A and B are shown apart, each in its own frame.
Chain A
Amino acid sequence: MSVEADQPAAGDERHQEQARLVAAMARGDKRAMAALYDQLAGPLYSLTCRMLGDTAEAQDLTQDIFLQLWRTAPSYEPSRGSVFSWAVTLTRNRAIDRIRMRQRRAEILSTAAPDLQPSGSGGDTDSAATLWLREQGAAVRAALAELPAEQRHAIELAFFGGLTQQEIASRLGEPLGTIKARIRRGLLKLKDRFPTRP
């Protein structure tokens, strides 16, 4: 299999390429694993850093996630979603498990939630893939910023904080039905505003 990690395609082509990589991993192709790492490690590591607020723990979880992708590659079904969303779902679930297990949710949120701007401490090289991810990240953040604050806040608490519906309602002091409605409206707007599939 040919791996072109440093020349990422855009949109659906990128999605299809990642699906091919996972299919190759399912056959034991470790070069495909390396290529997928190059495409997903940045966003997944960033996500774990944001959710856990601890770089050491984020590295540990990122390693676990890629090993899980390696082991479970044969179970991936393209019809159920992109590789990216599959990997993000796995990452979030594992991060939420860790958050709940260590009972550090309040502490992590207080330090991580306000920051939606790119960090300057990344030290990453300006590869094409990195630039593409930066553009995509900026577009997503812009879409989020356009949401009404109450919708954005509910979605961030759910996505990055790993809170349940009831916990969000309790934290924001709003009825549960209101929180559900805000999440629905906010996610519908994001669906329409997000530029291309990462």
Chain B
Amino acid sequence: MIPERHEELAALHALGLLGEAERTAFERELATDRELQAFTHTLREAAGALALAAPMRTPPPGLKSRILAACEQAPEPASSQPAPAVPFPTARIIPWAMAAVLAVSTTWFGLKYVSLRAENDSLRTQQRLAEIAHETTRTQLAERSLLAERLISGLGTRLRRSEDLARLKVSALASLAGNTAEARAIAVWDPDQQAGLLTFEKLPATAEHQDYQIWVVDPAYQNPVNGGVFHVTEDGGAALAFRPDQPVTKATAFAISLEKRGGVPKAEGPIVMLGRLPGI
């Protein structure tokens, strides 16, 4: 029993109405279906017979002779029969076959060798590039690490300076004598270093037999602690680093007295300037 769908395809095929894709698909089915083949064959014959429905016309008299003359000039039909086969001894095939196999395998191995070599070169190049990239990265990292260290170091220094500055105690000393009314002095004290810096200006010059002497007042001692002696130049200005001769645990004030030359262990002369350390 032919399905209706196949009947339709066979009818359209017989009249040459199928498109290329439909025709190919149908002929594929046709090749494996004997019943469909027979059915399509009868439809094709029926379609061919339709030619007889055309009004009967007699070909012109000269047409046959023209066609036969053209056949005389045309090459004879190409025979579809295959050329006779030439026997080929099997023994001759073996060496040729071996040679062919050898040639094919040699070619294959050669191509494989070239391919692998090219691949190896490519991988080496990639490795070298990777090494260069790694080295570059390492250098950059080292440079950045150094820079970071410098930055950290600088930051630490700044922090230390900040801490130092925070640790320093500053005192402005005021004049206590009429002859030093315009004098100004600033004492900076570093408790950790047990050292200080005294800057002053317009302090009256001392006589040859006299020196100024600085004292650090510490409640831990009954008398102020000696900070050292200094001379004043004609312009009345100078900067003096001083260090008490005894440990100072808590400086509360600085004083400058006028003493005999070389200084004294305990203040004897007049106090010309005095300054307290606030908050201490």
Q: Bound complex: CA of A47 vs CA of B47, how far in Å?
A: 13
Contacting pair A67 B67 (CB below 8 A): yes
Interface: B127 (CB within 8 A): no
Closest to A28 in B: B76
Report yes or no: A118 in contact with B55, Cβ–Cβ below 8 A: yes
* Interface size class, chain A: 35 or more
- The answer to whether A184 and B16 touch (CB under 8 A), given A30-B68, A159-B47, is no
A contact residues around B66 at 8 Å (CB)? 63
Q: Which of B15, B42, B52, B63 contacts A41 (CB 8 A)?
A: B63
Q: Which of A59, A70, A158 contacts B63 (CB 8 A)?
A: A59
In Å, the complex CA distance between A28 and B81 comes to 13
* B234 within 8 Å of A (CB atoms): no
Question: Which chain B residue shows the least CB distance to A45?
Answer: B59
Contact of B52 among A130, A136, A184 (CB under 8 A): A136
A122-137 residues with Cβ-Cβ distance < 8 A to B are 122-125, 130, 133-134, 136-137
Does A7 belong to the interface (CB within 8 Å)?
Answer: no
B71's partner among A70, A181, A194 (CB-CB below 8 A) is A70
CB distance from A125 to the nearest CB of B (A): 8
Interface residues of A in 70-85 (CB under 8 A from B): 70-75, 80-82, 84-85
Cβ 8 A contact of A198, one of B14, B52, B59, B81: B52
Separation in Å of the A138 CB from the closest CB of chain B?
9
The 8 Å CB contact of B55, one of A34, A41, A84, A116, is: A116
**A28 smallest CB distance to B (angstroms):** 4
* Residues in chain B near residue A117, CB distance under 8 A: 55
The answer to whether A119 and B17 touch (CB under 8 A), given A63-B63, A63-B67, A84-B48, is no
The residues in B between 181 and 207 inclusive whose CB is less than 8 angstroms from any CB of A are: none
Contact with A along B1-20 (1 / 0, CB 8 A): 00010011001101111000
Q: Is the CB of B17 within 8 A of A164?
A: yes
In the complex, A33→B63 CA distance in Å?
13
Q: How many Å lie between the Cα of A84 and that of B48 in the bound state?
A: 7
B residues less than 8 Å from A137 (CB atoms) = 52-54, 56
A 80-120 binary contact with B (CB < 8 Å = 1; else 0): 11101100110111001000000000000000000111110
Q: Mark A38-52, 1 if CB is under 8 A from B, else 0.
A: 100111111101110
Does residue B44 face the partner (Cβ distance < 8 Å to A)?
A: yes
Q: Is the CB of B58 within 8 A of A37?
A: no
Q: Is the CB of B52 within 8 A of A133?
A: yes
Q: Is B45 an interface residue (CB 8 A)?
A: yes
A165 CB to nearest chain B CB (Å): 5
Residues of chain A within 8 A of B59, CB atoms compared: 41-42, 45, 59, 62
Rounded to whole Å, the gap between the CB of B149 and the closest CB of chain A is: 84
B residues adjacent to A (C-beta < 8 A): 4, 7-8, 11-12, 14-17, 41-60, 63-64, 66-68, 70-72, 74-81
